[in-house]
Amino acid sequence: MNNIIDRYFGADKWNIGTLEQSARDLVLRKGFNGKVSWFKEDKADYSADPFVLSIKSNLYIYYEELNFWKIKGKIAQIKNFDFSTKQQVTGILPANIHLSYPYIFEEKGSFYCIPETADAAEVSLYQVNQGQPTVLTKKRNLLGGARFVDSSIVKYQGRYWLFTNIDGELNDLYIYHAEHLGGEFIPHKLNPIPVVIRNCRGAGSLFMVDDVLYRPTQNLELRYGGSIIINKITELTADTFKSEQDFELLPEAPYLQGMHNISFGKDVIVVDGKRRRHSPITPVHRLLKKLLYQRS
């Protein structure tokens, strides 16, 4: 009976939480050093894919926001862990498509964002306006021609490495590399790289600890966004790639249905979490969403 109720009346609710912990401590402990401190929930149904950055002593979180009666996600931003400061991020083109996974990284004092724009069949690089952090400026397209999802970039051994996936291909990893952000991103010799489903889609910031590169991935074996796998990359060149699972981050109460994104600030970790909630109008929402999606 519970399964039937959940099937017809259940819906996901995503929220964001933090821990005071460094990336190095996370790796040494093989897990969190305490409980996640969850934000007071926003009205939006999805507050997920959080990425954190620091500008002038303020912490900003960029994330996907998706409301119950809409079919397209948007990128929102909050300041200092407070949903009451929420603002919509502008400048992403085209603006009328589904947006998610606003991957943030720093390079030479500037901040950049690579939002997921699969509907536009491209991976594009945007720069964050540090005077107006909700404003992004498009710099260039990095890739095109496919529905790329969860694109993540890191500078490693003097080159930029872009890890990405193609929507629906749950056992293929794609890697591209370039000498600099303005250069051509060349396909890895092994593309597409076969991987198991728990080590395929990106789950947040690539990061370094003691000169070792780590890549978070979504564990999709049980359900969407089930948990996060932290993978250690043991070999990465233009011609070779080797990676091994190091440890798993399991969902934290009360969001026990999932966790699928992690990012790092200075001694702070930001994650998301999923729980199930039930409503008698859920079947109506699903029908309307299907009709609206077919018209869009």
Residue 140's pLDDT is 98
pLDDT tens-place values along the chain, 296 residues long: 656 556 655 578 999 999 999 999 999 999 999 999 999 999 998 999 999 999 988 999 999 999 876 778 999 999 999 999 999 999 999 989 999 999 999 999 999 999 999 999 999 999 999 999 999 999 999 999 999 999 999 999 999 999 999 999 999 999 999 999 999 999 999 999 999 999 999 999 999 999 999 999 999 998 888 999 999 999 999 999 999 999 999 999 999 999 999 999 999 999 999 998 766 666 656 666 666 555 44
C-alpha to C-alpha distance for 85 and 50, rounded to whole angstroms: 15
CB 229 within 8 A of CB 217: yes
pLDDT value for 284 = 57
Predicted pLDDT of residue 146: 98
- Please write the tens of the pLDDT for every residue from 34-50: 999 999 999 998 999 99
283 membership: H or E segment, kind and range: helix 282-295
User: What CATH number did the domain enclosing 34 receive?
Assistant: 2.115.10
pLDDT, tens only, 97-106? 999 999 999 9
Q: Which domain holds residue 50?
A: 2-295
The pLDDT, as a whole number, for residue 295 is 47
DSSP state at residue 256: B
pLDDT given for residue 144 in this prediction: 98
pTM: 0.93
Calculate ∠ Cα 102-58-90, nearest 5°.
Answer: 35
Beta-carbon-side half-sphere exposure of residue 27 (alpha carbons within 13 Å): 21
Predicted pLDDT of residue 226:
94
Alpha helices in the chain (DSSP H): 2-9, 23-29, 282-295
Domain count, the chain: 1
> How far, in Å, CA of 186 to CA of 178, rounded?
6
